[in-house]
Amino acid sequence: MASKPRIGVFICHCGENIAGTVDVTGLAERIIDYDDVTFSTDYEYMCSDPGQNKIKEAIEEEDLNGVIVAACSPSMHEETFRSAVEEAGLNRYRCEIANIREQCSWVHDGDGSKPTEKALRIIKGAVEKVKRNIPMEPVEREHSDKCLVIGGGVAGIQAALDVAEAGNEVVLVEKEPTIGGHMAQLSETFPTLDCSQCILTPKMVEVNQHPNIELMAYSEVKDVSGYIGNYSVQIENKPTYVDPDACNLCGDCEDVCPVNVQDEFNQGLTSRKAISIPFAQAIPSSYTLDEEACLGLNPLRCSKCADVCDADAVDFDQSSKFIEEEFGAIIVATGYDLYPKEKMGEYGYGQYEDVIDGLQFERLLSATGPTRGEVRRPSDGKVPKDVVFVQCSGSRDPENHNSYCSKICCMYTAKHAKLYKESVPDGNAYVFYIDIRAGGKDYEEFIQEVQEEDRVLYLKGKVSKLKKVDGKLRVWGMDEIAGERMEIDADLVVLAQSIIPSSEAKDTSRKLNLNLGQNGFYKEAHPKLRPVESLTGGVFFAGAGQGPKDIPDTVSQGSGAAAKAIEMLSKPTLTHDPQVVEVDEDLCSGCGLCISQCPYDALEVNSRGVAEVNEILCEGCGTCASGCPTNALSLKNLTDEQLTEMIHAQIGD
């Protein structure tokens, strides 16, 4: 404090809540003798309008430059009193609260004079703090209004649409030739069984047509620098060798292309050509030439597709485009993958053609899939009459696979069994499960229906082994309820493979400096209270990349992340709590120890060899200040000097 401290202490009775236990009048009389306290009073309810007016008047009349309100917890009225002193012309940090209710009067009732003595100590500590508080104003920064969305699954689609609707420009980056993600591969969706593509494709079209959305498919984020509000991002747009504006989807190129490769969209159940489109309603609506599969982009080598294209859309001369843009916020929606069947030793390491995973079964069920929605097994195209579904394959098995629950497999397995029974009414469906987890809205009813009306046989127990015996897939399992071992000879086995984070998550987390949890999913800023924010300011999460999720949860989180981004982008400038760390350059030896202490990457050793704080990134925990060997760092308004004097005031006599 530049001028000599003149502190006023205002002691609240809180009716009888404080005054019934603490001698408030006595306190006011005693504290006036304490160093730098020039005014003190007590009043029935300090938080009331008359109470606040007393503070404002005293600031003026007594020329106070610091205020202590000894009352309830700062979580109740700190804001009230700080606003009041601000109205009287003082900086808000000239006011501190001494908590003498929750942490004193309410817990020491009937202790005679002890609570009064304790309250006095608490107040003295607060006086020592407030007289050393510096005035602070929120730190302000300009920011970009644009939002980057990484990943074009349903999470990224929802987020992009919401942000765009709010009036902000969005760039949506998708690594595949089309947006839609896994939802585009699904047949029908639990629990209502609406057709997945029918509800998804209108949203995909909307993304494509929205004036505020720039869709960059077949693209990749190469590099990210900067911080909240001001991220500078480099994006690579890979060549598709087809001009999307010219391509009219006739498909002639596909017919003449001589190269067959595994079709990713159909989960390898069929093949596609080197020039192809993932599915008819793909967005962007255009063919893509797979550079690696193509016989050679040299017209002398093949060039069949270019020759046959009436629209002249094929262009072998395309090359990668690099775009550099500024973004205020980034939404990460990179989604999930399935735990590979090849890792399931107990189920044949993925070597049996008729042991498939959940997504492959979705493609078999899908009207646009390789069998046009008829359930036919991959090996010989026969309709399977005995189908075994294995839940928790790779989940909830800490010894061999993943320890966590993948959350959605109970539901999609029930859906699979139901759709199978509808397709093959005389077939038998068996489901092996550990528990049924159906916590969503209308989910339990769905399971009941599958078990009772669709007559799917649910067997509680694990499948220990699976092997090919006499042309059938023999499944060894346990029926714990009957207490019997089971052996089923199946025509088809569907493994509900564990949901794992997208293979891209590691790379993305490195580029954006995000944390991954122990299972590799993105780690949110707070598991309960900040579930869509990352610890990196201005970066938000949506969808299954943050943890296994079904579509309703994914879409909610997409909207949640969008709301957070919009909240941030709609502010004219970004403000930040000014209680951050500052560096005393004379003391700093440039050792850099603080850098590793900071959870927010807010510190660096600058070109002059001293620590520098990025005030936008610093959250003000003060951990670095306590770890600094030369005491060069101090947390504003909770400096070592303040702490020392508070300790002295509260403990010393």
Ligand X SMILES: Cc1cc2nc3c(=O)[nH]c(=O)nc-3n(C[C@H](O)[C@H](O)[C@H](O)COP(=O)(O)OP(=O)(O)OC[C@H]3O[C@@H](n4cnc5c(N)ncnc54)[C@H](O)[C@@H]3O)c2cc1C
Per CB under 6 A, residues contacting ligand SF4 are 580-581, 597-598, 600, 602-603, 613, 618-624, 635
54-73 binders of other proteins (CB under 8 A): 73
In the list 121, 396, 460, 511, the residue contacting other proteins (rule: CB under 8 A) is 121
**DSSP classification of residue 340:** P
Binding-site partner at residue 580 among ligand X, ligand SF4, other proteins, none, CB < 5 to 8 Å by type: ligand SF4
3-state SS, residue 557:
helix
Q: Residue 389 is encoded by which pair of tokens?
A: 């579904």
Q: 200, exposed or middle or buried, with CB in 10 Å at 0-12, 13-18, 19+? A: buried
Q: Say how many C-beta atoms besides its own lie within 10 A of residue 518's C-beta.
A: 8
> Nearest distance from residue 422's CB to ligand X, in Å?
15
> Nearest distance from residue 333's CB to ligand X, in Å?
5
Q: Is 115 in the site for other proteins (CB under 8 A)?
A: yes
Of residues 25 and 503, the one with the C-beta less far from ligand X: 503
Binding-site partner at residue 581 among ligand SF4, ligand X, other proteins, none, CB < 5 to 8 Å by type: ligand SF4
DSSP E strand boundaries for 480-637: 484-490, 492-497, 499-501, 539-541, 574-576, 581-583, 603-605, 611-613, 633-635
DSSP E strand boundaries for 275-341: 275-276, 288-289, 321-327, 329-332, 336-338
Binding-site partner at residue 103 among ligand X, other proteins, ligand SF4, none, CB < 5 to 8 Å by type: other proteins
CA pair distance 380, 283, nearest whole angstrom: 33
Q: 653, exposed or middle or buried, with CB in 10 Å at 0-12, 13-18, 19+? A: exposed
Binding-site partner at residue 108 among other proteins, ligand X, ligand SF4, none, CB < 5 to 8 Å by type: other proteins
Q: Which stretch binds other proteins (CB under 8 A): 41-49, 55-63, 114-122, 297-305?
A: 114-122
Write the CB contacts of 121 (distance below 8 Å, at least 6 apart in sequence): 649, 650, 651
Q: Is 103 in the site for other proteins (CB under 8 A)?
A: yes
CA distances from 486 to 182, 242, 457, 475, 477 (A): 34, 54, 12, 8, 5
Instruction: Specify whether the CB–CB gap between 219 and 173 falls below 8 A.
Output: yes
Q: Is 403 in the site for other proteins (CB under 8 A)?
A: no
Q: What DSSP assignment string belongs to 427-479?
A: SEEEEEES-----STTHHHHHHHHHHTS--EEEES-EEEEEEETTEEEEEEEE
Axis-axis angle for helices 114-130, 24-31 (nearest 10):
40
Q: What DSSP assignment string belongs to 137-180?
A: --EEE-----EEEE--SHHHHHHHHHHHHTT--EEEE-SSSSS-
Of residues 249 and 535, the one with the C-beta less far from ligand SF4: 535
> Nearest distance from residue 590's CB to ligand SF4, in Å?
16
| HSE-up of residue 48 (Cα within 13 Å, Cβ side) | 9
Give the CA angle between residues 615, 618, 621 to the nearest 5°: 140
CA pair distance 48, 43, nearest whole angstrom: 10
- Report phi then psi at 597, rounded to 5: -75, -25
Of residues 152 and 620, the one with the C-beta less far from ligand SF4: 620
> Nearest distance from residue 58's CB to ligand X, in Å?
57
Binding-site partner at residue 603 among ligand X, ligand SF4, other proteins, none, CB < 5 to 8 Å by type: ligand SF4
In the list 107, 295, 469, 482, the residue contacting other proteins (rule: CB under 8 A) is 107
Give the CA angle between residues 364, 436, 183 to the nearest 5°: 35
In the list 50, 61, 114, 503, the residue contacting other proteins (rule: CB under 8 A) is 114
Binding footprint of ligand X on the chain (CB under 6 A): 150-156, 173-176, 181-183, 186, 189-190, 220, 333-336, 358-359, 362, 408, 412, 415, 502, 504, 508, 543-544, 549-552, 554
Helix residue ranges, H only, 210-345: 252-256, 304-308
> Nearest distance from residue 71's CB to other proteins, in Å?
12
Binding-site partner at residue 30 among ligand X, ligand SF4, other proteins, none, CB < 5 to 8 Å by type: none
Encoded one letter per residue, x for contact with other proteins by CB under 8 A and - for no contact, window 598-637 reads -xx------------------xxxxx-xxx-------x--
> Nearest distance from residue 557's CB to ligand X, in Å?
8
Binding-site partner at residue 613 among ligand SF4, ligand X, other proteins, none, CB < 5 to 8 Å by type: ligand SF4
Q: Residue 493 is encoded by which pair of tokens?
A: 């086995």
Binding-site partner at residue 544 among ligand X, ligand SF4, other proteins, none, CB < 5 to 8 Å by type: ligand X
Of residues 260 and 626, the one with the C-beta less far from ligand SF4: 626
| HSE-up of residue 538 (Cα within 13 Å, Cβ side) | 30
**DSSP classification of residue 187:** S
DSSP E strand boundaries for 219-369: 219-227, 230-237, 260-262, 271-273, 275-276, 288-289, 321-327, 329-332, 336-338, 355-357
Q: Is 104 in the site for other proteins (CB under 8 A)?
A: yes
Q: Is 122 in the site for other proteins (CB under 8 A)?
A: yes
Binding-site partner at residue 333 among ligand SF4, ligand X, other proteins, none, CB < 5 to 8 Å by type: ligand X
Binding-site partner at residue 362 among ligand X, other proteins, ligand SF4, none, CB < 5 to 8 Å by type: ligand X
Q: Is 647 in the site for other proteins (CB under 8 A)?
A: yes
Q: Which stretch binds other proteins (CB under 8 A): 53-61, 130-138, 301-309, 644-652?
A: 644-652
> Nearest distance from residue 439's CB to other proteins, in Å?
23
- Report phi then psi at 369, rounded to 5: -85, -175
Of residues 125 and 622, the one with the C-beta less far from ligand SF4: 622
What residue ranges bind other proteins (CB under 8 A)?
A: 73-75, 99, 101-104, 106-111, 114-115, 117-118, 121-122, 125, 515, 526, 535, 579, 597, 599-600, 619-623, 625-627, 635, 638, 640, 643-644, 646-648, 650-653
